[in-house]
Structure 1
Amino acid sequence: MKNPFALIVDDEPDIIELLEITLTRMGIETRSAGTLGQAKKLLQERTFDLCLTDLRLPDGDGLELVELIQTSRTPFPIAVITAHGNMDTAITAMKKGAFDFVSKPVDLLTLRQLVGNALKFAEQAPRKDRRTRHTLLGDSLAMRGIRSKITKLARSQAPVYIHGESGAGKELVARLIHQQSTRSDKPFVAINCGAIPHELMESEFFGHKKGSFTGAIGDKKGLFQAADGGTLFLDEIADLPASLQVKLLRAIQEKKIRPVGEQQEIPVDVRLLSATHRNLAEMVQNGSFRQDLFYRINVIDLDVPPLRERIDDIPVLVDHILSKLSGQPESKPAISPAAIAALQRYRFPGNIRELENILERALALYDGKCIEEDDLNLPVGIPVPNPAPEHGYDPCQGSLEDYLEAIERKAILQALKENKWNKTAAAKQLGLSFRSFRYRLKKLDLDN
């Protein structure tokens, strides 16, 4: 097996020498160039497995080299070397397709990790099965687009910001990015930021030393160390307090963390994926989320569409969920076309998670032969969710279930009033069978 080849592009002889020595010790052959023109010439002469390039070159910009390699017939990983504190240009390079970045002065451990990840990708790329069609279900245009983006994002180490409504499948998308990447053999660590008490967040994220605070009876590794070499998924990142936003920003930029009570920083090799159902751009504007952190985590953004925007996927999702709930595909119940049509008309404020709950309830109510529309017991009068952070409902006023029940009650009472309390006519107006309408009246204690 022949040694991999790397192209080094920098106008500082000391940097070139450091990189050549480090890569040679890793069994990598190198070719070096001091200008953009020399680099282009070497790219025409032979193929490479990796490129490390400075962003500032005497005759041009390293970003031009990133674009050239990424748009070539045989693209390969390119990482950029950036001056300390010049993260903006590094982020621009990653948006254009750079694999990763390393800051000057170059940390050799970080460099070796980066090179190892890049070469692993080059080795796996031709033979890795990147199909996600049987995991991320649906053939709608939106889902085909998501699957295509996941394949592209798996080639990079860039932070990805996943946004979408609650229950839309953001964590599944994050897991697939990890599974299709070179980090798939390392940990995928997922955490809901809203579930951690604020006073414990720093310790949970970065770990702590024994005796660093009351109750610290031993050393503890944090989430960054647990995910070292792999992927860290921060769900509901909008819930991070301002104090931790600052520390997270530093960890992303420096690729180092400092456990509570520790004097020295520890290098970590983590790819960061984050998600929230809230509007981070609005939070930046009102000052509740740091703009610089938003810029760092949002190198690449990925929008997961709500279920109501891909109703053509509902039949295949229903089939999959019923197979899972029944235990064996051959024993899953049938579902009538009318029931499928009803599901496709429904707006699903809770998205796929709500679809699973509806089908699980239907399995308990149906006659054992076929799930009918009435067995679904879909709420009525549910409006399209507002894109505002809480989708128009204030959690301080009660649970989502209470909120939906109040809307359903209001819709039924309105229909009864408009039809002079004729239940048959009210059911027809609401698009319900009389049996389903009576079920709702009883459930809401309106059948007196």
Structure 2
Amino acid sequence: MNRSQGSILIVDDNADILTASRLLLKQHYQQVKTTTDPHQISHYIQQFEIDVVLLDMNFTQDAISGKEGLYWLQQILSLKPSTTVIMMTAYADMNLAIQAIKAGAADFIAKPWQNEALIAVVAAAFTHAQTKQERDNLSRQNRGLNNALAGQHIPFLGESPAMLQVFNTIEKAGKTDANILILGESGTGKELAARAVHQSSQRADKAFIGVDMGSVSDSLFESELFGHKKGAFTDAKQDRVGRFELAHNGSLFLDEIGNLPLSQQAKLLAVLQNRQVTPIGSNKPINFDTRLICATNHNLLQAIDSGEFRQDFLYRINTIEIQLPPLRERVEDIPLLIQHYLSHFSQKYQRHLSIFPSDLSRLCQYRWPGNVRELAHSIERSVILSEGSHLDISAIISNTGATVTPSPSAQQPDNFNLQDVEKHTVASALAHFQGNVSHAAKALGLTRGALYRRLEKYEL
């Protein structure tokens, strides 16, 4: 006969009751524990992850009030609210049954019982326990997701051949559940690439959970990734859902994976092999179905040679490898990125700014050592500091020691020289139409060819 998974604790001062109920229920459930001492309840619940408790109403000889049972019922529910409790008594008192159910008991059974009746009551209690556990898990997951998913989604942009190749790889890899390793310098958009993989997958409607492994201390590593139970350590005020469990059926993104010490690599390797995590303070493993995406700016092959990274761990996480190019190797994308972030931050800070084509050209010549992240932060800073209707690029790379001066076209000519006036007018038209040559040419009353000749003449 197949036995259902689950743990039962029977608490009664009558040893014969314990023996009889244990022999009966052991035929149907994998783990049945018994005790005559209600003071041992806490130990059993914490040690064996008890799902259902059969609790006697009275433990003092000749007692019939049921107060003891109600007291221990409250202790159980305080210790582990998801536990389902069935109250037992030799006195089928309806008022006592009502009190017990109002206090949180799931059901009530009178002794002596028919075996079929006890089996039915316990089966119903397990169904109730499963429902409560699913509800509690959903509540815990929602709390964790509210914290983990904070922030706005940022689009992953690019039109250069290098980025088109990246997009092609993402599209192919996204259709699978293969583990992904994303490599690239800091600021190249590794998290955006990971989100793009997730959005291309069949898990797109599930959670995407990210963890910066470089910021997770060794002492919090297991709690952060695997979770912990209430009371597992001093600051464990409530259960915490680990990131693997939060990302169940979705994708888990581990950034800065190259910073992991060898001890943590070993723990992660075991988890990935077994597809199970065990929260701190629990002995009950949790299965997970999570798509793993990792990223690093480290050279992991060199780290393996120096003994700082496990080769078997690398094989586990890089079924498919995606290399993101630095911004200096995809200069064609810089105007697109600048216009995107200029529009985004102008809207955020309620500004109406455009950029002179000559200033855009100058920013394309900068090497952007901090890649897209530096570009985005620089545009945001300039939007905040700029005065007037045009982006002042003088502050964009001032913190690098390089000097970028405002474009001469940004200054209204202080003379009536026709060439200076024409240069200013052409630059202003281009700025107004955000670099759209066709629109600017139409507004100036010129053909596209004529406008291009003036752009070349004035080096705009």
Structure number with larger C-alpha Rg: 2
- What is the TM-score when the length of structure 1 is the normalising length? 0.53
SS in structure 1 at match of 2:240: coil
**One of 338, 348, 356 as aligned partner of 2:368:** 348
Unpaired segments ≥5 residues, structure 1: 1-133, 380-400, 412-429, 436-448
Equivalent residue for 2:39?
Answer: none
SS in structure 2 at match of 1:246: helix
Equivalent-residue separation in structure 1 for 2:304 and 2:376 (angstroms): 34
SS in structure 2 at match of 1:334: coil
- Of the structure 1 ranges 305-314 and 207-216, higher mean CA displacement relative to structure 2 is found in 207-216
Distance apart, 1:217 and its partner CA: 3.5
**One of 162, 168, 178 as aligned partner of 1:148:** 168
Equivalent residue for 1:313?
Answer: 333
Distance apart, 1:218 and its partner CA: 3.2
- Is 1:247 equivalent to 2:281 in the alignment? no
Q: Is the 8 A contact 1:164 1:276 kept in 2?
A: yes
Equivalent-residue separation in structure 2 for 1:331 and 1:220 (angstroms): 42
Equivalent residue letter for 1:158: A
Equivalent residue for 1:175?
Answer: 195
Q: Is the 8 A contact 2:209 2:243 kept in 1?
A: yes
Equivalent residue for 1:371?
Answer: 391
Equivalent residue letter for 1:139: E
Equivalent-residue separation in structure 1 for 2:407 and 2:336 (angstroms): 29
Equivalent residue for 1:334?
Answer: 354
Equivalent residue letter for 2:382: A
Q: Is the 8 A contact 2:359 2:406 kept in 1?
A: no
Equivalent-residue separation in structure 2 for 1:329 and 1:214 (angstroms): 44
SS in structure 2 at match of 1:370: coil
**One of 206, 212, 227 as aligned partner of 1:186:** 206
Equivalent residue for 1:302?
Answer: 322
Alignment of 1:232-271 (within 5 A): 232-271=252-291
- Is 1:224 equivalent to 2:224 in the alignment? no
Equivalent-residue separation in structure 2 for 1:151 and 1:253 (angstroms): 26
Equivalent residue for 2:227?
Answer: 207
Equivalent residue for 2:377?
Answer: 357
Q: CA-atom RMSD, angstroms? A: 2.5
Change (3 A) 1:341 1:221: same
Cα deviation digits, residues 201-254 of structure 1 (max 9, x gap): 111111122333333333321110011110000011112222221111111112
Equivalent-residue separation in structure 1 for 2:311 and 2:381 (angstroms): 43
Equivalent residue for 1:139?
Answer: 159
- Is 1:280 equivalent to 2:303 in the alignment? no
Structure 1 stretches of at least 4 aligned residues deviating more than 3 Å after TM superposition: 328-332, 364-367, 430-435
Distance apart, 1:433 and its partner CA: 7.2
Distance apart, 1:262 and its partner CA: 2.3
Change (3 A) 1:332 1:322: farther
Distance apart, 1:434 and its partner CA: 11
Cα deviation digits, residues 305-363 of structure 1 (max 9, x gap): 11111111111111110110011899642211221121111111111111112212222
Equivalent residue letter for 2:321: D
SS in structure 1 at match of 2:196: helix
Equivalent-residue separation in structure 1 for 2:271 and 2:161 (angstroms): 37
Distance apart, 1:186 and its partner CA: 1.0
Q: Is the 8 A contact 1:323 1:329 kept in 2?
A: no
Equivalent residue for 2:141?
Answer: none
